[in-house]
Amino acid sequence: MITVTRLNGGAFALNPDLIERVEATPDTVIVLVDSTRYVVRERVEEITYRVREAKAAIIALSHSLDHAAQLSEQGAPPTHPSNPAPVLRVVTDNGDK
């Protein structure tokens, strides 16, 4: 999910997989695959950055889980330094953990 801000200041989370396109008209408009439109404060570049970061986090977590599973299959104990437990964290846009 990515967090975006409506023009009136209300923030909400949006599933980036449902975004069809993002337009600057001059306000930023996010158009979903079902044609729902959201006008937001963030610029197009910020939206694309957040989508890339969200997708990269999913790929990184998937890789980490896969790597841990492979090490486990090879017999490395779960607490061994070569087999650290994957960590799933929720990080907000303002950097809080």
- Residue 73 token pair: 């299959």
Asked if residue 30 lies in contact with residue 4, where contact means CB atoms within 8 angstroms, the answer is yes
Asked if residue 37 lies in contact with residue 29, where contact means CB atoms within 8 angstroms, the answer is yes
- Which single residue is written with the structure tokens 């158009």? 31
pLDDT digits (tens, 9 = 90+) for 2-24: 999 999 999 999 999 999 999 99
Band (pLDDT 50/70/90 cuts) for residue 85 is low
Q: What does the pLDDT read at residue 62?
A: 81
Whether pLDDT at 96 is above 60: no
Can you give the residue ranges of every domain in the chain? 2-73
Q: What does the pLDDT read at residue 83?
A: 53
Asked if residue 25 lies in contact with residue 13, where contact means CB atoms within 8 angstroms, the answer is no
Other CB atoms within 10 Å distance of the CB of residue 51: 16
In 6-94, where does DSSP find H-type helix?
Answer: 44-73
- Residue 94 token pair: 């303002």
More confident residue, 25 or 86: 25
Cα–Cα distance measured from residue 42 to residue 30, given in angstroms and rounded to the nearest whole number: 10
Look up the pTM and report it.
0.68
Cα–Cα distance measured from residue 37 to residue 79, given in angstroms and rounded to the nearest whole number: 47
Q: What does the pLDDT read at residue 74?
A: 66
pLDDT digits (tens, 9 = 90+) for 26-81: 999 999 999 999 999 999 999 999 999 999 988 888 877 776 666 666 665 555 55
